[in-house]
Amino acid sequence: MTGIKTLLAGLAAATMLCGVAVGQELTMRIHQMLPAQATIPAKAIEPWAKALEEQSGGRLKFELYPAMQLGGSPATLFDQAKDGVVDVIWTVLGYTPGRFPKSEVFEMPFLVTNAEDTSVAFQKYVEANAMDEFAGVHLIAVHTHGPGLFHTKNPVNSLEDLKGMKIRGGSRVISDMLGRLGAEPIGMPVPAVTEALSKGVIDGTTIPWEVTPSLKVSELVKNHTGFSGAHGLYTQTFAFVMNQDSYDKLPDDLKALIDANSGVEVARAFGKAMDDGDAAGLAIAEKLGNNIVTLDDAETARWKAAAQPTIDQWFSDMDGQGIDGKALYEKATALVEAETAM
């Protein structure tokens, strides 16, 4: 697959068989937290919306509202879709701690490989194990970003260098991991990172390369630290969902059109957009002459050992909820390895 445009072009031929009839135009509002030029808004959501408009013969229309233009905070986006405030949202699941415990397994340290393969694994995992967490909304797709890494004012060349640094974490699990690695975790949604770095509220942030251009991170800090091997430090989980009533009120042919533009291949395309964004973000930092560090195998192994208690704690947390966390972790890691090996 070469991206969401190729995906949706391929789906168009199949969905034309639905026989979309002439009818009333339906307009849906899509709300999300990042600027319109950020990777997923520009390279995934907008093409998805345009393709559906074309495939429906203009019967479906989408209005795009980036950067929380319709109000609320990133943490309220899922409920905006569930409650019918808007029709469609894209959000980070980790912004509502404890609400998606089964999905949370994909945030475990050193599970992610790349965004495309991990996103496909995540979609398959949710469909098989966690659809109950999306009750009340119509799930279009879930996905992840690529390997998360450190972007810091002072260089991080070893585990000891991280000690005491105020580092932004994007979820409960990631903040737990940062604390065990020796940092002082500061939880915040990703749109707040630019101001927090500028004002010295944080010394650095954990994000993938993909989002650094829209947040100007490579201009604000000059040090970036990643890891050796096939697995990145962490990833975050995202969901692209529709209000259930907005879906249910559609005629059958338009429901079929939405269904044809949902699921594994949409997850793949969103992940591919993230991977392409990682390459673009890295190129900007390189052009700026920033200090880009890849920790060697031995040092990476030290970080993995230091992060393992986060995984163990998650198992314990899940046991307390009557969920077999270890079994879910084994399923998640197996799916990631299988997709990455293809």
Q: Reduced to 3 states, what is the DSSP secondary structure of residue 317?
A: helix
Q: How far is CA 90 from the centre of its chain?
A: 9
Predicted pLDDT of residue 24: 81
* The CATH number of the domain covering residues in 149-233+289-341: 3.40.190.170
Cβ density class 187-196: b for 16+ within 10 Å, e for less: bbbbbbbbeb
Rounded-to-integer distance, Cα 240 and Cα 144, Å: 11
| Residue for token pair 């260098």 | 161
Q: What is the mean pLDDT of residues 60-77?
A: 98
Q: What are phi and psi of 203, to 5 degrees?
A: -90, -15
Q: What is the mean pLDDT of residues 236-248?
A: 98
Count CA atoms closer than 13 A to 299's CA, side-chain side.
Answer: 15
The answer to whether 237 touches 99, Cβ cutoff 8 Å, is no
Output the DSSP codes for 141-159: EEEE-S--EEEESS---SG
The answer to whether 111 touches 307, Cβ cutoff 8 Å, is no
Predicted pLDDT of residue 13: 39
**Percentage of the residues of the chain whose pLDDT score is greater than 70:** 93
105: left (phi over 0), alpha (psi -120 to 50) or beta: alpha
Q: Reduced to 3 states, what is the DSSP secondary structure of residue 132?
A: helix
**Per residue in 110-166, pLDDT tens?**
999 999 999 999 999 999 999 999 999 999 999 999 999 999 999 999 999 999 999
**Per residue in 96-108, pLDDT tens?**
999 999 999 999 9
As given in the structure block, the two tokens for residue 165 are: 């640094």
DSSP bridge partners of 89: 31, 241
- Confidence tier at 3 by pLDDT (50, 70, 90): low
The answer to whether 148 touches 235, Cβ cutoff 8 Å, is yes
**Percentage of the residues of the chain whose pLDDT score is greater than 90:** 93
- Confidence tier at 18 by pLDDT (50, 70, 90): very low
Q: What is the mean pLDDT of residues 319-334?
A: 98
**Per residue in 261-292, pLDDT tens?**
999 999 999 999 999 999 999 999 999 999 99
Residue 239 has pLDDT above 50, yes or no: yes
Class of domain 4-146+237-277: alpha beta
**What's the chain's average pLDDT?**
94
Predicted pLDDT of residue 11: 47
**Is pTM, for the whole model, over 0.85?**
yes
**CATH 3.40.190.170 domain residues, the chain:** 4-146+237-277, 149-233+289-341
**Per residue in 179-236, pLDDT tens?**
999 999 999 999 999 999 999 999 999 999 999 999 999 999 999 999 999 999 999 9
